[in-house]
Amino acid sequence: MKTEKPVQDGSYWSLFSTFFKIGLFTFGGGWAMISIIQREIVDKHHWIEKDDFLDLLAISQSLPGILAVNIATAVGDKIKGGRGSIVSAAGTILPSFLIILFIAIFLTPDMIKNNKVISSIFMGIRPAVVALIIAPVITSAKAANLKWKTVWIPLVVALMISLDMGTVSSPILYIVLGAIGGFLLWWIPRKRIRN
């Protein structure tokens, strides 16, 4: 028998500090943050279930704006309503804002290129960012119950997007096609039952 994990009621401080930590210690954009976000909000705090996280991830990726901010806003809203969404989004945005402000004040592009220590730091971060992007892809594939019969779908879509062939390589096209395919997989069996 499956036991339900208790959902921890997040305070405003807990929401802010959790998303501040996520914003502070992840590099490489939204996809690099996914494994850390999942670990914090699903595994550690139990604010949402894993299946709900995957749905939230799909919705957040489809909406305009920054993936991590979209997720933070939705989780904050679920836990503490409108104020929670503002607190969570602020926690996610603030570290990047402060880091970019620091870089804009003290580091110029020439200084980054010409300073061997700073260049080495950025070169060292690159492989870690690649790993941070690959990890949530594998986790999401497992959670989405991809089978060997369906694994070709994300591979073909990734290939088509990477080829950069105009409209055919548009991620929006594949989001729409995925939504239509999902609807048809739901609708066709129901239509057959009625007939």
Please, is 114 exposed, middle or buried when counting C-beta atoms within 10 Å of its C-beta (0-12, 13-18, 19+)? exposed
Residues 36 and 111 in one domain: yes
- Assess whether pLDDT exceeds 70 at residue 9: no
Residues 97 and 120 in one domain: yes
User: Is the model more confident about 46 or about 4?
Assistant: 46
Q: What is the pLDDT of residues 135-170, one digit of tens each?
A: 777 777 776 777 777 778 888 888 888 888 888 888
Residues 152 and 105 in one domain: no
Instruction: Decide: 137 and 36 in contact? Cβ < 8 Å.
Output: no
Residues 56 and 104 in one domain: yes
- Assess whether pLDDT exceeds 90 at residue 89: yes
CB neighbour list of residue 41: distance below 8 Å, 6 or more residues apart: 18, 47, 48, 53, 71, 75
Q: Which domain holds residue 23?
A: 1-144
- Give the lowest-confidence range in 41-50, 94-103, 121-130: 121-130
Please provide residue 107's backbone torsions phi and psi, each rounded to the nearest 5 degrees: -120, 125
Residues 50 and 133 in one domain: yes
What is the pTM (predicted TM-score) of this model?
Answer: 0.59
Longest dimension (CA), the chain: 72
Residues 150 and 138 in one domain: no
Q: How would residue 84 be classed by pLDDT, with cut points 50, 70 and 90?
A: very high
